[in-house]
Amino acid sequence: MIDQKVEKALQAALSAFSEYSDYDATPLTGDFSQVFSSEGSFLDKVDALDAIFDENPQVESLREIFFDLLLINFFSEDVKKLEEDYLETEEWADIEEQTLDRGTEILNLLLYLNECEEEGIEPGLADYLTEFLLVDEDEFQDEHRIYEPVIVNQILMESPANEIKRVALDLPGDSELKEIFYPMMCFFQGLENSAIDERAIAANAIDTSFDMAVIGILESFI
C-alpha cells in the first residue's frame, strides 16, 4: 500500500520538478508509485527505488528526498503488516545500519507534519525546533548542532526569499542542511504568511527544480 499523502507528495514533486526544469519527470510517477506500493521488503524497495534513479539520471537530485518518502511510507503503511515491535527488532536495527548514510533531514520534518495532523497542532518553525526536535534540551545537542543555522536565522521568517537564499549559500559545504535550507525555510515562511509569492521563491531558488519539488512534497503533508 501507499500512503495517500506520500502518493500526493510524489506527484507534486515530479510535477514541480518538471515545471522548473527542461525534463518531464511526470511519466515516472507510476514507476515510483509501483515501488512504494509493492509487497517487497524495505531493502528490496530501496533497491527498486535506486534502480529508477540509476535509469533516469535527470532526476538524480530527488534520490535522497524520495528515500525519505519511502521511509515515511514504510512507517505509515508497511509496518502495519509486521509484528507490533518490529521497529525494535535486530532486523530493523540492521536495516538502519545499512541505510545510515541515506536520506535527509526532510524525514524529520515530514514526521513532524504527520504528528501535527494527528494531534491537531498548527505547524510552525519554532514549534518544530523546540517541541519536536527539542533543540533546547541538553540530551539533544546533535539536533542543536545540525539545526544551528536555522536556530540563529529564525528572523528569516520575516525576510524576502533573496535573503533566505543568501544565508543558504553561505552555509558550509558540510552542513547537513546545506541543500534543504532554502526550501525548508521558504516552506515554513509560507505557513506563517499566506501572502508569500511562489514566483519570488522560484526566482530566488538555488536549484529551482529541486527546491520547488521539496516544497511541493512538504505542502502535500499539510
- What residue ranges do the domains of the chain occupy? 4-98, 106-219
Average pLDDT on 54-64 reads 98
Cβ-based neighbours of 133, under 8 Å, separated by 6 or more: 108, 140, 143, 147
Label residue 173 by pLDDT band (50, 70, 90).
Answer: very high
Residue with cell 515491535: 85
Label residue 137 by pLDDT band (50, 70, 90).
Answer: confident
What does the alpha-carbon distance between residue 129 and residue 147 come to, in Å, rounded to a whole number?
A: 8
Q: What pLDDT score was predicted for residue 76?
A: 87
Whether 194 has a pLDDT exceeding 70, the answer reads: no
What does the alpha-carbon distance between residue 43 and residue 186 come to, in Å, rounded to a whole number?
A: 32
Question: What value, to the nearest 5°, has the Cα angle with vertex 78 and ends 75 and 79?
Answer: 60
Q: What pLDDT score was predicted for residue 138?
A: 77
Q: What pLDDT score was predicted for residue 140?
A: 76
Dihedral sign of CA atoms 128, 152, 199, 13 in order = negative
What does the alpha-carbon distance between residue 55 and residue 201 come to, in Å, rounded to a whole number?
A: 30
Which amino acid appears at position 52 of this protein?
A: I
Whether 70 has a pLDDT exceeding 80, the answer reads: yes
Question: pLDDT, tens digit, for every residue of 85-127?
Answer: 888 888 889 999 999 999 999 999 999 999 999 999 999 999 9
Q: What pLDDT score was predicted for residue 78?
A: 75
- Phi/psi region, residue 33 (left: phi>0; alpha: psi -120 to 50; beta: rest), is alpha
Which amino acid appears at position 212 of this protein?
A: M
Percentage of residues of the chain with pLDDT beyond 90: 80
